[in-house]
Structure formats: structure tokens, C-alpha cells
Amino acid sequence: MPLHLLIGSDSRIIGCGPTLRRLFLGRDLLGQAFFEHFAVRRPSGLHDMAALHDRAGVKLYLASPHLPGPGLRGIAVPLAAGQGVLLNLSFGIGVIEAVRDLQLSDADFAATDLAMELLYVVEAKSAVTEELRGLTLRLQGAKTQAEEQALTDTLTGLRNRRALDLALQTAIDGASPFGLMHLDLDFFKAVNDTLGHAAGDHVLRMVAGVLVEETRRSDVVARVGGDEFVILLNGTADPIRLEQIAGRIIQRLSEPIAFGAHRCRIAASVGLTVSTFYTPPVAAIMLEDADRALYAAKHAGRACLRRHAPPSDLARM
């Protein structure tokens, strides 16, 4: 019984368990008055040995100013011939906090004490809970990564057609104005035919870099076909501003792109439409109008921009 006390008939401590002695940080309890170092909180009114005898076998709740934590539980057993009381103590339901706060180990408990088995169960539960938490985070991370991959063009790192459709519908539902550009590379087939697909892939990646540099983080740049791209410019509905952005893109993509010792020459045709032309905007119609404007740019000589004309403009023509 590492937490026991032997209390003589004169209420002085005549025996003390090793764990209890250690908890008192070397303070010698032998010969000390029990009621000066311990207070019986429940049942109330236990202030002398007679009252302690009368409560033999009843669960006692004790506290000591020298011990931190929630206190101790105990059972008093009278010794033969009125020689005193054996008081066997425990931490009760506070054993987990006691082990943590007082840095106890299994050596501080009796071999038959179920407290250690409880601690093993708690430790096992904590380990399992932590492992499950880690597994949940890993699964969530894997799910996020899979979702991201499902929305990404593997060659360029841009958004793909599915991601564009989602972003376009989100922009329409948000009722904020936006611009939509459909861009197609001119002379790209010649690069593939003369230098091979490796050169073509390199050109596509360089084009993607230009498109990202000329747009904002809030915009969506998607590769929707072999050499076709769509740019969703959120919050930007001024046709003049959009034409300036398209002009910079066309100018940059007209510059030669190095591939080893070769210089790949391409150009870009752009079709543009704006959400404010529609009441309400419809994704499929906007994409179709941007596509028509793109082919108008190609028929106009390529490496240029054409803007979809809203119905009001067409009526005046």
C-alpha cells in the first residue's frame, strides 16, 4: 500500500507509504499530527480520532495544503485494541491528473491497483485518437490533392475545362461583372510539325506562363483544348480595359520562344465578350459568343482581337 498512513491513537502518524512520503517532498510525516497535515472534506465534522473510528469503512475525501491536485480518497480501518487507524489512500478519479502533475509511474502504485490498467487504457485511447486524427488529416489532404488534380491541366498547370465551367458558373451566380476571353494560338501546328511535340509542349508551357503573368490571382486561366485557352477576368467588365489586357497578351505571344537552338514563332487571336452584355449571363452563350469573336479575329488576319458586339450595338449597325 504505497499510499497508506498509520495513525496512532493519539492522532499522530506512525507509518507512511513510500509514494505518499515522496509526494510530500521529503517532509517527514512520522510523529506529525494527522489533522495538522490533512483535512477531511467529506464527511464533514471529522476532526479527531473518535470521529475517524466512527466513520470506519466510509469513503473519505481528504486534502492537504502540501499536495496539489484534486485531493485524495481513503478508507479508514481501525487497528486492534484501539491502537489507531490504518488509512489507505488513492487518487480516485483524479489519478490521470495526478500521474501527469506529480510525475508518477507504475512503481508508485500497488501491483494490484487497477489505476495503472486505467492509465494504459487512457494512453492507448490517446494514441489511437492521435493516429485517427493524423489519418483524417492525411485523407483530407489526399482528397484535396485529388480534387485539385481533377481541376488542373497536367501539361501547363493551368485550370482545365471542368474548372473553368465551375468558375464561370460561380461568377454568374455571384452577379459580379466579368470579362471572358477565348484565345487560340496561330501557327502552333507548324511548331509541332517541324520541331515535334516536345517543342509544342514547351511552347504551351511558355504561353501558360505569359497568361498567368498578364492576369491576376483572382482571374481564371484555363487550357480548354490543344492550343486553346479561356481567361475569366473577375470583376473586370470595361471593354477598353479588357482590350488592353488582350493587347499585351497578343504582343508578348508574338515574340519568339526559344527551344534549344530554335526560335518558335507563334501568334494569338483573341475573342472577347463581357457579362454586362447579357441579361442574365448564360455560360454556354457567353462561351459561344467569345468563340465567334475569336474566329472573327482569325479571319481578320490573326494576331488580333475581336470583341463580341452586344445586341444593342448590332441594332444600330
Pick the closest to residue 242 from 174, 169, 183 (CA basis): 183
Residue 153, pLDDT score: 92
Q: Are strands 305-307 and 267-274 parallel, antiparallel or unpaired?
A: parallel
Query: Over the stretch 240-298, which tens digit does the pLDDT of each residue have?
Result: 999 999 999 999 999 999 999 999 999 999 999 999 999 899 999 999 999 999 999 99
C-alpha cell recorded at residue 301: 488576319
Strand partners, 186: 267
**Model confidence band, residue 108 (pLDDT cutoffs 50, 70, 90):** low
User: Of 190, 18, 198, which Cα lies nearest the Cα of 108?
Assistant: 18
Helices (H), the chain: 18-23, 34-37, 49-54, 95-102, 115-150, 161-174, 188-195, 197-213, 239-253, 283-299, 311-316
> Can you tell me the mean pLDDT for 33-59?
82
Instruction: Say which amino acid occupies 75.
Output: I
- Higher pLDDT residue, 92 or 9? 9
SS3 letters across 280-317: CCCHHHHHHHHHHHHHHHHHCCCCCEEECCCHHHHHHC
pLDDT value for 316? 37
Question: Average pLDDT over the chain, rounded to whole?
Answer: 84
Distance of CA 312 to the CA centre of its chain: 49
Q: pLDDT at residue 122 above 60?
A: no
Candidate from 52-56, 175-179, 198-202, 303-307 with smallest mean pLDDT: 52-56
pLDDT greater at residue 282 or residue 102: 282
- From 113, 165, 186, 227, the catalytic residue: 227
Residues with Cβ < 8 Å from 250, sequence gap 6 or more?
Answer: 267, 268, 270, 303, 304, 305
162 vs 114 pLDDT, higher one: 162
* CA 223 – CA 158 distance, rounded (Å): 6
Could you confirm whether 227 is annotated as catalytic? yes
280: preceding bond cis by omega (within 30 degrees): yes
Q: Which helix (H) or strand (E) holds 186?
A: strand 178-186
Q: Which residue has the cell 488509512?
A: 87
Pairing of strands 257-259, 262-264: antiparallel
Confidence label for 101 from pLDDT (cuts 50, 70 and 90)? low
Mean pLDDT for 194-202 is: 94
**Cα separation, 62 vs 113, whole angstroms:** 19
